[in-house]
Amino acid sequence: MKVKTLVIGSLVIFLLGTVTVNAQSIPKDELIFLTSLWKGERFADGRPKISDDLLKRAAAINIDDAWTALKNAGYNNQFEGGWKLVNDTIPVVGRALTAMFMPSRPDVEKNIKDRGVQQGRKGNTNSWPIDMLSKGDVYVADGFGKINGGTLIGSTLGNAIYAKTGCGVVFNGAARDLAGLKEIEGFNAFVRDFHPSFLQEMVLMGLNTPIRMGQAMVMPGDLVIGNKEGVLFIPAHLSELVVSTSEFVTLKDKFGFEMVKSGRYSTGQIDSQWTEEIKTHFLKWLEQHPELGKMSKAGLDEIMSRRTW
């Protein structure tokens, strides 16, 4: 009995130690479980790592087409609008690194900050997610919509974020120093509003965890695409499908405009499942426009069968 008690006690201590190392983050195996449909590369913490090449392709697609592909795949809660932007001409595209903030409570905030010091963390808790960012990441934070005192970054942290990621941020909260943020070439921020106040009465309660951004669920590693229409959060395992489908829709529209204008095909023919005749005509048209890329007959058949466009 003593041996059994000792073993159980040791196990409890081990588990508690494991949980308290980074209690704000979900365990790696839980993150892998929640994103189990992703079969590609992952970061050390388990976050899906969408390829740099796919991020580059995603920057060129139409957010409307991507939204349609997601909806047709059954994902109805991945878009959120109603943002204010630092610069509405700069898209934000990258992999989500998530953070969840809550209204501060002295006892909880003290415990979190004390543990952070023991872990070697520096500064206020709003800087901790920034320390974890890497190239191609988008810092996505739920600041529960707080404006006055809800300014998660100003120009100093904005510069630090852009230097690490080459991307921007999406905050269900606020930012300060709009003039300074505008001076960061290539940077953009999607926020609920701008406010001159400093961050106050907020504490980090989740880091690299599932969060809610308005009407959307966001998982760490999601493909983030934001422009002046709003922000789309694409599950990592659907990122290739959504991007390739959106690329095809762009080609289909260019081809369709020419065919309808010339009277060769009707809009009904272009916007429904294609006959073999239209497929052959499309592939020949694509060969005549090498700047638009290449597609095989098998590739065309596969994408047409998806019905996600």
Residue 69 has pLDDT above 90, yes or no: yes
pLDDT at position 303 is 86
Quick one: average pLDDT of 29-44? 97
In a domain, 38, yes or no: no
Do 117 and 230 reside in the same domain of the chain?
yes
Please say if the pLDDT value at position 32 is more than 50.
Answer: yes
pTM of the model: 0.88
Q: Answer with the one of 235, 270, 298 that is the final residue of a domain.
A: 235
Does 123 reside within a domain?
yes
Q: Residue 66 above 60 pLDDT?
A: yes
Residues 96 and 64 in one domain: yes
253 to each of 36, 246, 247, 274, 280, how far by Cα in Å? 34, 11, 10, 13, 16
CA distances from 187 to 85, 87, 114, 215, 300 (A): 10, 8, 33, 25, 36
For all residues of the chain together, what is the average pLDDT? 91
Same domain membership, residue 248 and residue 222: no
Q: What pLDDT does 293 receive?
A: 86
CA dihedral sign of residues 258, 262, 267, 273: negative
Residues 45-67: what's their mean pLDDT?
A: 96
Q: Measure the CA–CA gap between 23 and 5, rounded to whole angstroms.
A: 26
| Per-residue model confidence as pLDDT tens digits over 232-268 | 999 999 999 999 999 999 999 999 999 999 999 999 9
Phi, then psi, of 75 in degrees rounded to 5: -105, 100
pLDDT mean over 70-80: 96
Span 195-209, average pLDDT? 96
Range of the domain at 96: 52-235
> Does residue 34 belong to any structural domain of this protein?
no
- Section 51-77 average pLDDT: 96
For residue 228, pLDDT beyond 60 = yes
pLDDT at residue 306, rounded to an integer: 76
Taking the CB of residue 144, how many other CB atoms lie within 10 A of it?
14
Distance CA 32, CA 294 (A): 35
Binned at pLDDT 50, 70 and 90, residue 304 comes out as confident
Question: Are residues 273 and 226 part of one domain?
Answer: no
The share of the chain scoring above pLDDT 70, in percent, equals 92
Q: What is the pLDDT of residues 129-175, one digit of tens each?
A: 999 999 999 999 999 999 999 999 999 999 999 999 999 999 999 99
- The H or E element that residue 307 is part of is none
Write the Ramachandran bin of 271: left for phi over 0, alpha for psi from -120 to 50, otherwise beta: alpha
Residue 181 near residue 86, CB atoms below 8 Å:
yes
Please work out, in degrees rounded to the nearest 5, the angle formed at the alpha carbon of residue 35 by the alpha carbons of 20 and 243: 135
Asked if the structure places residue 21 within a domain, the reply is no
Domain boundary among 192, 215, 235: 235
| Percent of the chain with pLDDT strictly greater than 90 | 83
Residue pair 259/275 in contact (Cβ under 8 Å)? The answer is: no
DSSP, collapsed to helix, strand or coil, labels residue 197 as coil
Shared domain for 207 and 255, answered yes or no, is no
Tell me the CA distances in angstroms from 141 to 102, 154, 173, 184, 212, one per residue in order: 11, 14, 8, 20, 9
Amino acid 122: pLDDT: 86
The amino acid present at 219, given as its one-letter code, is M
d(CA 103, CA 146): 9
End-to-end CA distance of the chain: 64
Q: What is the pLDDT of residue 258?
A: 94
Is residue 308 over pLDDT 80?
no
Higher pLDDT, 277 or 20: 277
CA–CA separation, 159 vs 153, rounded Å? Answer: 10
Residue 4 falls within a domain, yes or no? Answer: no
* Number of structural domains the chain divides into: 2
In the 8-state DSSP scheme, what is residue 271?
T
Q: Are residues 135 and 209 in the same domain?
A: yes
Confidence (pLDDT) at 4: 40
The answer on 204 and 160 residing in a single domain is: yes
Output the DSSP codes for 111-173: HHHHHHHHTT--S-GGGHHHHH--TTEEEEEE-TT--TT-EEE-HHHHHHHHHHHSS-EEEES
